[in-house]
Amino acid sequence: MRRRTFIHRYRHQYLMLLPGLVLGGMFVFYPIVAAVFFAMQDWSGFNADKVFVGFANFTRLMSDPFFWAAFSRSLVFLLGTVPIQMILGLVLAVILNDRLLKLSNLFRTFIFLPVVTPVAVIGIVWTFMLSPFNGPINGFLLDIGLIARPVDFLGSSDTVMPSVIGVYVWKWLGITVIYWLAALQTVPSDVYEAARLDNCKGARLIWYVILPIVAPFAVMILLISAVAALNVFPLIMSMTNGGPFFASEVMEIFVYRKAFATGDGSIPELGYAAAAGVFFGLVVLALTLLQAVIARRTRRGQTA
Amino acid sequence: MSITRMRGLSRRHFLQSSTAGAAALGLGAGFGLGPAMAQGIPAAINDIASGASLRWIDSGDQKAVFYRQFFAEYAQARGVEIIYDPLPWNEIAQVVPLGVRNDTAHDVFALPQNINPADAVAQDWVQPYDDFIPDIEAWKAGFPQGAFLPGINEFDGKTYGLPFTSNKRYGTHLLFNRAYMEAAGYAPEDQPLTWSGFRDAARKITEAGAGRYYGFIIGGSQLGRWAQTVRNMGRMAGASAGGDSVVEADIDFRTGEYVFDSDEYIGAVELLIAMQADGSIFPGVMSMNAPQARAFMPQGAAGMILQGPWNIGGWEGEHPDYDFGVASGPVPDEGPTGKLTIGQGALAPNTMFMYKNSPNGAIVGDIFHYLGTLEGQTAWANIVGAGDPPIFPEALEHADMSDRSKFALNMFNEQIRVGPNPVVGNSDIAQVIGAFQAPEVNFARTVQGLVAGELTGVREQMSALKDRYNAALDAAFAEAGAAGAQVDRSDLVFSNWNPDVDFGASDY
C-alpha cells in the first residue's frame, strides 16, 4: 500500500521522466548490452554466421600486439595532452581572471572559439596548416631558416603524434580554461588582497596560494580531460587515418578498422572489434567512476 | 579519320534536329537530349509503374558524370524517381552491409571490396535478374566472351551482377606534366620510362622545381596505392602474377606460389625507397589519399603520378589548359616488358547487383538491359571514356574520345591479358576467398612501412610477408575445407598458363 501510494503520488513526475528513460534505454543502455553480446561472437557483422565464442575474443585481445600498441598510443596521447592542457589552462585562466586585464573577454572568446568549431573542420584545416607543400607552418619555418626542407608532420612517425597532440590541445584548451575559471571563482577575494599585501604574485601566487585552494577541482578537471582525451576518433580519423604505418592508431581507430576493414583486403570482425571496444570502454568507465568518487569526497570535504 | 569526323558532324546535326523537333512539339524547355547521349532513352522493356523510387549506390568518380545525366533523363522518361549515391569505397563498405542487415539497402549496389559475389549470393544479399530481362540469353550473347562466368556472376544457372565495364585497364600507368617531362629530357609517350628513367626523371623534375614542385606523387595514406604500384611494376618487370582478388593477385599461377619475394617485387620497392631518399617524392604523401594526390597534379605540384585512366576525362574537363601526357607504367631496364594479368573480362568493382528484397526489379532490368546494349555502351563511352571502358569493344569504335583516352585504351589492350580465374576452375575457391583474412601487416602496409622508413630490410620484409600470406592462405583453405568446400592449393595452379596470351574458357 505504501509503495503503491508513493508511485501514485508521483505518477506525473514518473510520466515526465519516461521519455528520457526510453531514449536513454535506446541509445545508451541497449548499445552497451549489444556491444557486450557482440563481443562474445565470432561475427563479421554483415551476415548471419554468428558463432558464440564466450570470452575467446577477449583472450585473443590480450595477446594481440596491435591492440596493445593502439592502447599504448591512447595512453601516450592522454599523457601528452592532459598535462599541457592542465598547466597551460591554469596559467591562462589566472591571467584572464584578472578583472583589471583589458580585453580579457575578447581573449576568452578567442581561446574558446576552437571548442565550438566542428572537429572535422579543425582536422581538415590543420592538415592544410601542417602540409609540407604550401602549408603556412612549413612556409614560416623555411622562411626563418629553421629548416632546410619541409617537414611532413603528419606523414612521419616521429612527428605525427606530437602534431596531433598539439592540434588537440589547441582545440580543447578553451574548455579547460573555462573549467579553471570556474574553479577560480571559489577563491575568496580577500586571499588575493592578503597575497598582494605580502607581495606574492606570478608563479608564487599560483603555486602557494591559488593551487592549494583549487586542488580539489584540479583532480576533477584532470579526470574530465583524461576521459575526453581517450575519445579522439574524429580528429585523428580526419587528419591521419591512423597512419603512417599505425603510428597514430589509437584505440578508436583500431576498433573502427577491425569492425569495418575498410578496403584493405581484410574481413570485417565486428565481434572482435566489439570486444576491444568493451575493454576500452571499461577503462574509460573506471576513470569516470574514479571521477565520481573524488567528486563525492570533494563535496564531503567542503561540507566539513 | 575523315569518316569519323563526318559521323561526328552527323551526330551533332541529328541532336540539333531532335532538339528543335522537341521544341516544336512544345514539350517544354526542360526536355532535351543530353549532349553525349546517342539517341536518348529507348523504349522500356518492362512494364514500369509510374512514381516508383529506385536507389543506386556505387563508387562514383567519372561514373557519376554519366549516371547523373542518364538517371535524370531516365527518371523523366519513365516517370520514376532515382536516387543516386556515389560514395567512396570506405563508405560503401559500411553503407551496403548495414543496409542489407537492416533491410534498407539500395536497390542496386556495388559490392564492398571485401565481399565477393559468391558470398553475396550465399548470404542472400542479392537476387538474379533473369526474370526482368526478356530473352536474357540473347541479350547476354551480345557481351564479349568472358563477361559472364560461373562463380563470378552466374550461380546455379542464374545471372547476378551486371558486367558492363571492361577490366582491361590498370591504375598505375603514368600521367605526367608534359612541360616538366620535356624539360627533364624524356618523352614517355614515345618511349616508356624504364625504372631508372623513372627515377632519373623524378630527380630532374624535383631539381628543376626547387621546392615548388616534385618529381612524383602518390596518395600514400590510401594503402592500396602502394600495393598496386609495386604489384604492377613487378608484373611488368617479369613477375608473372595474376587475378583480381586479394587472394590471387600476387600468385604465379604456374606454380601457385606468392611472388612477394621475387627480384621484381623487391626491386620495385627498392626503387620507391631510392626515390624517397632522392627527395623526389612529393613531401606529404603519407598523409594524403589518392584523390588528394590527383588534385595536386593539375596544380603543377608534381610532375608524375601513377594512377588510372579515370583522371583523363576529369582533368580534360576540369583543367582544359593542363597539358598532360599519358603513358605506360615504368618498364624494366632490361628484358621484355611483362604483361599485366586480370582474372575476368568485367571490372568487378563496377559490377552492379540487385538487392535481394528490391521491389523494383522491372526498373533494374530495364536499366541493366540498356547498359548491356551497344547503344547504352556507346553512351557510356562517350562520357566516361577510358576511365571505365565499356565492355563492348564495338562501343569504343563508335564513341567520341580524346586522343589521350584512345592512347590509353590501345595501351591497355597491348599490355593486359586475361589470365586464369581459380573460381572458374573450381567454384569452391570462392569460399576460400571469402575466408581469407589478410595479415595485419599486409602487402600494402609493408610497402608503406618500408618507404616511410618504419620497416627496414626489403628482402627480409618481403620474405616475411610471403610467409604471413602463406599462413593466411593455408588457414583460409582449412576453414573453407572445414565448411565443406572441396578445395586444395593445387586449384591455384594452371600449368598451361602463358602470361603473354589470354587464358580462354577452353584452357580450363
- Decide: helix, strand or coil at residue B168: coil
Residue B90's pLDDT is what? 80
CA distance B31 to B26: 10
**Cβ of residue B291 closer than 8 Å to a chain A Cβ:** no
B435 CB neighbours in chain A (<8 A) are 267
**Cβ of residue B101 closer than 8 Å to a chain A Cβ:** yes
Q: How many CA atoms lie within 13 A of B351 on its CB side?
A: 25
B279 CB neighbours in chain A (<8 A) are 149
CB contact under 8 A, B284 and A45: no
B223 CB neighbours in chain A (<8 A) are 264
B38 secondary structure, DSSP code: S
Residue A303 pLDDT grade (very low, low, confident, very high; cuts 50, 70, 90): low
B98 CB neighbours in chain A (<8 A) are 46
Residue B383's pLDDT is what? 86
Task: Tell me which of A104 and B421 has the higher pLDDT.
Answer: B421
Of A246, A262, A265, which has the smallest distance from its Cβ to B438's Cβ?
A: A265
Max distance between CA atoms of chain A, in angstroms, equals 83
CB contact under 8 A, A265 and B97: no
Task: Tell me which of B21 and A224 has the higher pLDDT.
Answer: A224
Query: Could you tell me if A246 and B444 are in contact, meaning their C-beta atoms sit under 8 angstroms apart?
Result: no
Per residue in B271-296, pLDDT tens? 999 999 999 999 889 888 899 899 99
Residue B15 reports pLDDT greater than 50? no
CB contact under 8 A, B454 and A46: no
Cis bond upstream, residue B144 (ω within 30): no
**Cβ of residue B224 closer than 8 Å to a chain A Cβ:** yes
- Which of A41, A43, A44, A46 is best to mutate for the B interface (most B CBs within 10 A)? A46
**Cβ of residue B15 closer than 8 Å to a chain A Cβ:** no
Residues 6+ positions from B295 with CB-CB distance below 8 Å: none
Q: B108: part of which helix (H) or strand (E)?
A: strand B108-110
CA distance B55 to B81: 9
Per residue in B88-145, pLDDT tens? 888 898 899 999 999 999 999 999 877 888 889 988 999 999 999 999 999 999 998 7
Residue B84 reports pLDDT greater than 50? yes
Per residue in A274-291, pLDDT tens? 999 999 999 888 988 888
CB pairs under 8 A between A and B: 115
Per residue in B393-414, pLDDT tens? 888 888 888 899 989 988 998 9
| Residue type at B31 in one-letter notation | F
In 3D space, the residue among B158, B135, B162 whose CA is nearest the CA of residue B56 turns out to be: B162
Residue A265 pLDDT grade (very low, low, confident, very high; cuts 50, 70, 90): low
Task: Tell me which of A250 and B504 has the higher pLDDT.
Answer: A250
Residue A291's pLDDT is what? 80
Q: What are phi and psi of B257, to 5 degrees?
A: -110, 150
Residue B214's pLDDT is what? 95
Query: Could you tell me if B301 and B217 are in contact, meaning their C-beta atoms sit under 8 angstroms apart?
Result: yes
Per residue in B187-219, pLDDT tens? 999 999 999 999 999 999 999 999 899 999 999
Lowest mean pLDDT among A284-298, B29-43, B380-394, B416-430: B29-43
B452 CB neighbours in chain A (<8 A) are 155-157, 244-245
CA distance A99 to B20: 76
Per residue in B449-460, pLDDT tens? 999 999 999 999
Task: Tell me which of A254 and A298 has the higher pLDDT.
Answer: A254
B469 CB neighbours in chain A (<8 A) are none
CA distance A234 to A171: 13
DSSP assignment of B428-478, as one string?
A: THHHHHHH----SS-HHHHHHHHHHTSS--HHHHHHHHHHHHHHHHHHHHH
Burial of A35 (0-12, 13-18, 19+ CB in 10 A): middle
CA distance A194 to chain B (A): 54
